[in-house]
Structure 1
Amino acid sequence: MTDTHQPVRHAVVPSAGRGTRFLPATKAVPKEMLPVVDRPAIEYVVREATDAGIDDMLFVTRTGKEAIEAHFDADPGLEGDLEKAGKDELLSLATEYLGLARTHSVRQGHPLGLGHAVLQAKRHVGDAPFAVMLPDDLMHPDSVLLKQLIAVREAIGGSVVALLRVTPEQATAYASTSVTTIAVPEGVDVPEGNLMRIDKVVEKPPLDEVMSEYAVVGRYVFDPAIFDELEVIEPGAGGEYQLTDAFARLIDRPADQGGGLYGVVVEDRRFDTGDKLGYLEANVALALEHPKLGPALREFLHTELARTETAEA
């Protein structure tokens, strides 16, 4: 029997990719550690989880990703030197990890897909609900999406995923869904019309098999029953185990065994930092909001755009 009211305290962050779309920058630096404004992209994910009440983070990594672990660890030498030098502002920045969820890591071992990566968290998470956060989906710091997913899970059980409105052409690159709008439970802060029961889901369908304008993107809150399904799914193309194949099986699983699949429509700002343009957009958008950098950057962009337009005239 699944405890639907058990709080969500764990988050799993699959981080074992090679980041080849960002070469040569990622030859020696994990893509998750590339900066967005003044901090690595992965830190935004950890801050998002912490703000949502999660206090335990598990990175699923591989060889060469040690910098991720180090970023959220103490550096006694650095901290000691900053303290002795009276550089309190820098010391505060270097010790911000103390206010974030505690982080751990496990190696995926072999690149066998997202489903395989999430399965590596089974021993760590145990029989508890947990979030999965894909680092390429960078949410604006003001986002409440993860809080909404958790609130829905705690209200009605099952598993809950984020749904993005996409064009039919875009849907072919995501998991496409067939959905039914359902009433929002009392006390859950999700706009009416934005909570769905997912009736069917298919990974990267051809254009003529796209089922709706709603596609699954990189925020999930899973019942631990997902681990049972991850252990029995078959590998797909390239020998990879697809996470979509596992959570699709939750749709018909009995509710008292952790079944049921729901979706919350994404209304918050989201950046696709797995794409070079999306990464640049995140840097520009968040830098413009930075209290110290924003005004000067805005002036520079106006000047640079004017110069470019003059050169092209």
Structure 2
Amino acid sequence: MKHSKPVRKAVIPVAGNGTRFLPATKAMPKEMLTIVDRPVVQYAVDEAMQAGIENIIFVTSRNKTAIEDYFDSTPELVSSLTRSGKTAQVAQLEKMLPVAGTVSYTRQQVPLGLGHAVWCARELVGDEPFALLLPDMVSFGSQGCMAGLMDLYHEVGGNVIAVEECVPQETSSYGIVGVGRQVEHGFEVTDMVEKPDPAVAPSNYYLNGRYILQPEIFELLASQERGAGNEIQLTDSMQRLARIQPFHAHRYAGRTFDCGSKRGFIEANVAFALLRSDMGDELALSIQELVNDRNRQMKAA
């Protein structure tokens, strides 16, 4: 095992406008849209905590106070539920409430991209490695993706990213990595290319929104020129960091839903709901009936 500084803090950027979900996000943050009965951002926090993270740092923006309120205590609600004898709901609220002092917030005043959002957390992270979880990317599997990254980090140190396989013809939609020497929990990254043509892509392994990065990334982000979309791109600075520090990739065995897209968000709701003991069986039957109805309508058209 390689001796490395422990990863205690996680950065979760929640400053995006969520324009793909308008008009729903006109009055509420996209991260507060629910998958079954929990907001999207809760899944990222749970995943981080289950992986051993001690402190969560949210990078927010205007109109995101609902996220801060959600991770705060609600004594009036707890009192009302207690009087009504709804002890299960009280226990659930208490379980998801972070320990006092373990959650911090910083603002991204100008929307300059993911790289800039990460840079905004530099003072709260300090001079230590940190986890980065993109909340739109929701992990679905027997183990959270970040836990696997931690296993690999404890093995090799340095910088660790999570990847999944895509259809080779779809590499132009993702950030793709090159595959090098194999290690116990992953492989060495030889290249990082943003949205390569399938003909020249180094592999079909794409970045799925989970990272462990060394603090030197902040200095690189500070001097990073704007890239795609006229924004400061995290991948650009990661490529520069890879010239002086090793990167390894963890193959996530589960599936990641892109809940920043309508299709991914709906798929995540269905997938998580099907696993629920209180609704899974009935929902499966309902979905089958809806599919049958759709097929009949299309056949009649």
TM-score normalized with structure 2 length = 0.92
Whole-Å separation in 1 of the counterparts to 2:32 and 2:3:
35
Alignment of 1:229-308 (within 5 A): 229-253=220-244, 259-308=245-294
Write the letter of the residue equivalent to 1:197. E
Q: What aligned pairs does 1:177-216 form with structure 2 within 5 A after superposition?
A: 177-184=177-184, 190=185, 195-216=186-207
Give, in whole Å, the separation in 2 of the partners of 1:269 and 1:217: 9
Q: How far 1:84 sits from its partner (Å)?
A: 2.5
For 1:95, the equivalent position in structure 2 comes to 94
| Aligned partner letter, 1:53 | G
1:69-100 deviations in Å (ceiling 9; x for gaps): 11111011111222233221221222232367
1:143 matched residue in structure 2 = 143
Tell me what 1:224 maps to. 215
Unaligned runs of 5+ in 2: none
Aligned-residue CA RMSD (Å)? 1.9
Return the letter of the residue paired with 2:261.
D
Give, as a single letter, the amino acid of the residue that structure 2 aligns with 1:5: S
- 1:25 alignment partner AA: A
> C-alpha separation between the residues in 2 aligned to 1:221 and 1:172?
24
The answer to whether residue 74 in structure 2 is matched with residue 75 in structure 1 is yes
- Aligned residue type for 2:155: A
CA distance in 1, matches of 2:120, 2:181: 33
Aligned partner of 1:128 in structure 2 is 128
Task: Tell me the distance in 2 between the aligned counterparts of 1:158 and 1:123.
Answer: 20
Q: Is the 8 Å Cα contact of residues 48 and 141 (structure 1) preserved in structure 2?
A: no
Unaligned stretches of 5+ residues in structure 1: 185-189, 254-258
Detail structure 1 runs of 4+ shifted over 4 Å in the superposition.
none
Distance (Å, rounded) in 1 between the aligned partners of 2:99 and 2:19: 29
**Structure-2 residue corresponding to 1:61:** 60
Taking the TM superposition and a 5 Å limit, the aligned residue runs for 1:160-179 are: 160-179=160-179
1:113 CA drift (Å): 0.9
CA distance in 2, matches of 1:308, 1:156: 50
Cα drift, residue 177 of structure 1: 2.0
Q: 1:174 Cα deviation (Å)?
A: 1.8
How many residue pairs align between the two structures?
A: 297
Say whether the 8 Å CA contact 1:196–1:263 is kept in structure 2: yes
> What is the distance in 1 between the residues matched to 2:99 and 2:37?
17
Change (3 A) 1:207 1:303: closer
CA deviation profile, 1:160-218 (whole Å, cap 9, x unmatched):
0012212344221222222203232xxxxx3xxxx121122122234444222122220
CA separation in 1, counterparts of 2:275 and 2:98? 23
For 1:48 and 1:66, locate their aligned partners in 2 and report how far apart those are by CA, in whole Å: 22
- What one-letter code is carried by the residue in structure 1 that aligns with 2:211? Y
CA contact (8 A) 1:69 1:104 kept: no
The one-character-per-residue Cα deviations of 1:102-154 (angstroms, maximum 9, x if unpaired) are 32211111011111000111100111111100111100163242112112222
Whole-angstrom distance in 2 between the partners of 1:219 and 1:10: 13
Distance 2:153 2:201 in 1: 26
Indicate conservation of the 8 Å contact 2:274/2:284, yes or no.
yes
Instruction: Find the counterpart in structure 2 of residue 36 from structure 1.
Output: 35
Q: Equivalent residue of 1:111, what SS?
A: coil
Structure 2 CA distance, aligned partners of 1:147 and 1:111?
Answer: 30
Distance in structure 2 (CA, Å) of the matches to 1:159 and 1:41? 26
TM-score by length of 1: 0.89
User: How far apart are residue 309 of structure 1 and its match?
Assistant: 3.1
